[in-house]
Structures are given as C-alpha cells and as structure tokens.
Amino acid sequence: MDTVIRLCPDTTAFSDEEQLRYARHLSLPEIGRAGQHRLRCASVLVIGAGGLGSPALLCLAAAGVGRLGIIDPDYVELSNLQRQVLYTTAGCGRPKVEEAHDHLLALNPHLQIDIYPEAFTLANAAQLIARYDLIIEGSDRFATKYLVNDACVLAGKPYIGASVRAFSGMLSIYAAPEGPCYRCLFPEMPAPETIPSCAQAGVLGTVPGLLGTLQAHEALKLILGIGEPLIGTLLTVDGLTMRFQKLRLPRDLECPVCGEAPTIRILAEAPALCPAAAHPAEDQADLPWLSVEAGREHSGLRWIDIRTLAEFAAGHIPGAAHIPLDQIEILTTASIGPHDHLLLYCQQGGRTVQAYHRLKGKLQGRLSLLHGGYEAWLNSRAAQNAVTR
Ligand SMILES: [Zn+2]
C-alpha cells in the first residue's frame, strides 16, 4: 500500500538493548530495521486515555512508536479499573495522563511522552493535531468525536476512531487522503434522546480492550505502510456472537466537512450532549447541590434514585425510592408530602441536572441534588470503612 504517513528519516543505529526489545519486529521482513525506524520516527496523539486509549497506548509504547501524546482531563477512579488496563488501584485519585506517562515510560524508556491534562476542545484542537502524524480517537463524548473528525479533516490528518457499547464496537480510519470521514457515516450528531446518559451505558471490560488494541494495530499498519488499512471500511464487532463484519464505507460527496461543497470550513464546537456537560460548570454551581455528608445530616430528606432499574437493582443507597429519569414527571406537589424535601441522585450527578430542569417549575425550593451521585456515596462509605478498620 502507499504510505499515508510521511516521516522524517532517522537511521540512528539501534542499541543492543533496543535490538533485543524489538527482536520480534526486526525478524519480520515486513518490518525489519527500516520499519522499526519508521515506528521510532512516528508520533501519535491519543485523545482520551480511557477504555480505548489504555490498551492502544500500551500497544503503541511496547511497539516503539517514538513519540506519544496523551490528552485527558480526568483523574483515575475506581470505576475505571474494570476496563482501563493502564491504571492500578494505587493510582486512583491521580490525573490519568500522569499515571499513563509513568506506566508507559516504565514499559519503554526510549519514548517521548507528551501529556496534556485537559479536555480536547476548540481552543486546543488544531494546534494539538498539527504536532502529530496520526491521531487515535478514544473519547466517549459525541461532541469530542465530531470535533476530532472536523479538526483532522481540516488538517488533512488521518485518525483511527472507535466506539464501544455493551458487547459491541466499531472501528474505522477516517480523514485519510481520498477516504471518508465520520460525518460521511453520521453527518450530524444523534439526537440526545437516542443516546444513553453518560454514566449509565455499561460495557464488558474486554470490549474496549479489543477495540483499543485494534486501533493501535491499524496505527502501526499505517505507520509501516503494510497491509490493507481500514480506510473506506467500517469494522463492526459483535462480542457476544464474535461476528466481525467489514462494511464498505464510501466517501459521501455531500458530506458537510469532506464533501465537494463543504459547509464546515472552520472548526466549531458541536453542542455537548452529556447533560452534565451541556450545562457549563458556572451554571451548575447555582443548582441546589448537597454533599453526601450534608445529605446524611439532613434528617427530613426523601432520597430518590433516578437511574435505570438495572442500575438501581445492582446497588443503591439504603432507603432510597426509585423513580427513573424517564418517569420523573410523576413527582408533583400532589404526589409528595406537604413538607417533603427531595434529594435526587444518579450515578455521578449529570442526570440529576436534567431531572432538576424538568422538575424545578413545580417543585422549586423542595429539590436538592446529590453532588457526585451514587459513586460519591460509595466513595464516602469506602472512606468511612477505611477509617474504622
Ligand atoms: Zn466526510
């Protein structure tokens, strides 16, 4: 195949240690010294160091991709560890990019690792993408997926995008020369009601592991210029039946960003769909948040769990009533006692913002929202247990 990635030549000899480290690459005629040099010269930006980014980064670092960029604003949390294989229990509470940096350098000290403890936004998108040969998109936010797509198309940089849900996933290379982009497949962001809320979508831990590994696999192929990359092809994976399907994904000449008469010519942020992100932090600060501790001390509260039935059944705060978000409108002044004050909670807090906006008209002054949601309550209980042990 023609190489999609142009690299500066670097023929510095490999040390004895590197020859041993990369021996299984050097012995492959398709890679050899020239290929390993290409890997060492290449740079890859990984957007999102979560379920997809973790295995992708581990594979790229192990393979000897010389410079890796990692952007993620989050901190390692206990609930990440079921699938984010880059992190450890001891690393909880630390910024993901710092944990990733230390772990990857311990794996391969020959690499340069750039870390950006921030979100990928309109403000930094173009500069970041310009610094790397290739991009891996492992975000779980639709707004970020569209921003990465548009920034890569406008910069002429290919990227490997993937998404996962429950037991399945899909993967393709977008924005390669002559290839399609994500908007050729999905021109506009899906309607909010068709997307599960940020925190409620479950996934089997191995599914992002598989798709993230495949993202690194396609990145290595692109850098090496070998095989048939997934350009113009969408790979879908059903992890329950193990059916892998390759669907032809042609470029859409009417695509709003890569088509013949594009309507998107400069970067603009797509509206955020996560309810928590949809209301900027400054707006949210005015909402009636209550910490777990304050909630415990407040005796007259009715705790309401607004998550799905499956989430409630898997574990909830003792004594809480269950009223899922899609039925939240049944809460009216007539349906609750005259002196009741409600404390709403979801998994992490995002969905309660949505519930608050639906209820505030009729229950103003009688609603509070649990800051950090059920996970904050679990964390505080774990901390209490640690103290009493
Ligand atoms: Zn397109």
Other CB atoms within 10 Å distance of the CB of residue 377: 20
Query: Which class for 120: exposed (0-12), middle (13-18), buried (19 or more C-beta within 10 A)?
Result: buried
86's tokens: 């880059």
Per-residue pLDDT tens digits for 278-307? 444 546 778 999 999 999 998 889 999 999
If you measure from the C-alpha of residue 148 to the centroid of ligand 1, how many angstroms do you get, rounded to a whole number? Answer: 12
Give the integer Cα–Cα distance in Å for 215 and 209.
10
Residue 194 has what pLDDT? 60
193-225 per-position pLDDT tens digit: 566 555 567 899 999 999 999 999 999 999 999
Q: From ligand 1's centre to the CA of 211, what distance in Å? A: 22
The dihedral formed by the CA atoms of 144, 148, 150 and 154, expressed in degrees to the nearest 10:
150
Please give the distance, rounded to the nearest whole angstrom, from the Cα atom of residue 304 to the centre of ligand 1.
Answer: 44
- Selection from 349, 344, 347 nearest residue 327 by Cα: 344
Contacts for 149 with CB less than 8 Å, ≥ 6 apart: 137, 159, 161, 174, 175, 181, 182, 183, 257
User: Secondary structure of the chain: what % helix, strand, coil (to 5)?
Assistant: 40, 15, 45
* Region of poorest pLDDT, from 2-6, 92-96, 313-317: 2-6
Q: Is there a contact between 134 and 42 (Cβ–Cβ < 8 Å)?
A: yes
Q: How far is CA 179 from CA 230, 248, 251, 326, in A?
A: 10, 11, 6, 40
3 state DSSP class of 166: strand
pLDDT tens per residue, range 15-43:
999 999 999 999 999 999 999 999 999 99
How far is the centre of ligand 1, averaged over its atoms, from the C-alpha of 14 (Å)? 40
Please state the rounded mean pLDDT for residues 345-370: 89
C-alpha 256 to ligand 1 mean position (Å): 7
- Rounded to the nearest angstrom, the distance between the alpha carbon of 250 and the centre of ligand 1 is 9
Confidence of residue 341 (pLDDT cuts 50, 70, 90): very high
- State percent of the chain over pLDDT 90: 69
Q: How far is CA 29 from the centre of its chain?
A: 35
For domain 16-272, give its CATH number from 3.40.1000.10, 3.40.50.720, 3.30.930.10, 3.40.50.620: 3.40.50.720
pLDDT recorded at residue 141: 87
Note whether 290 and 298 are within 8 A (CB): yes
Dist. CA 175–CA 183, nearest whole Å: 10
Q: What is the pLDDT of residue 385?
A: 82
| Tens digit of each residue's pLDDT (9 = 90 or more) over 344-356 | 999 888 889 889 9
The per-residue pLDDT for 2 is: 52
Q: What is the mean pLDDT of residues 230-244?
A: 97
* pLDDT score at 192: 61
Q: What is the 314 CA–ligand 1 centroid distance (Å)?
A: 41
Locate 357 and state its tokens: 């906006």
The pLDDT > 70 percentage for the chain reads: 92
Domain 277-388 has CATH 3.40.250.10: yes
Higher-scoring residue by pLDDT: 349, 78: 78
Rounded average pLDDT over 188-192? 71
Considering only residues 276 and 377, tell me which one the structure prediction assigns the higher pLDDT: 377
Considering only CA atoms, which of 224, 299, 300 is closest in space to residue 60?
224
| Residue 68 parent element (H or E) | strand 67-71
Give, in order, the Cα–Cα distances in Å from 136 to each of 48, 172, 225, 354.
Answer: 9, 11, 17, 31
* 273 pLDDT above the threshold of 60: no
Mean pLDDT within 226-251: 96
236 C-alpha to ligand 1 centroid (Å) = 19
What pLDDT, on the 0 to 100 scale, is given for residue 182?
Answer: 96
- Catalogue the long-range contacts made by 328-336 (C-beta closer than 8 Å, 24 or more residues apart): 328/355, 328/358, 328/359, 329/358, 329/359, 331/304, 331/359, 331/363, 332/362, 332/363, 333/362, 333/363, 336/302, 336/363, 336/366
pLDDT of residue 364: 84
- Check if the beta carbon of residue 121 is closer than 8 Å to that of residue 139: no
Pick 313 or 110 by higher pLDDT.
Answer: 110
Query: What are the boundaries of each domain within the chain?
Result: 16-272, 277-388
The pair of three-digit structure tokens given for residue 261, joined into one six-digit string: 């008469």
Report the mean per-residue pLDDT for the chain: 90
Q: With left for phi above 0 and alpha for psi between -120 and 50, is residue 366 left, alpha or beta? A: alpha
For residue 188, give the 3-state DSSP assignment: coil
Rounded to the nearest angstrom, the distance between the alpha carbon of 272 and the centre of ligand 1 is 21
The residues with which 293 forms a beta bridge, in sequence order, are: none
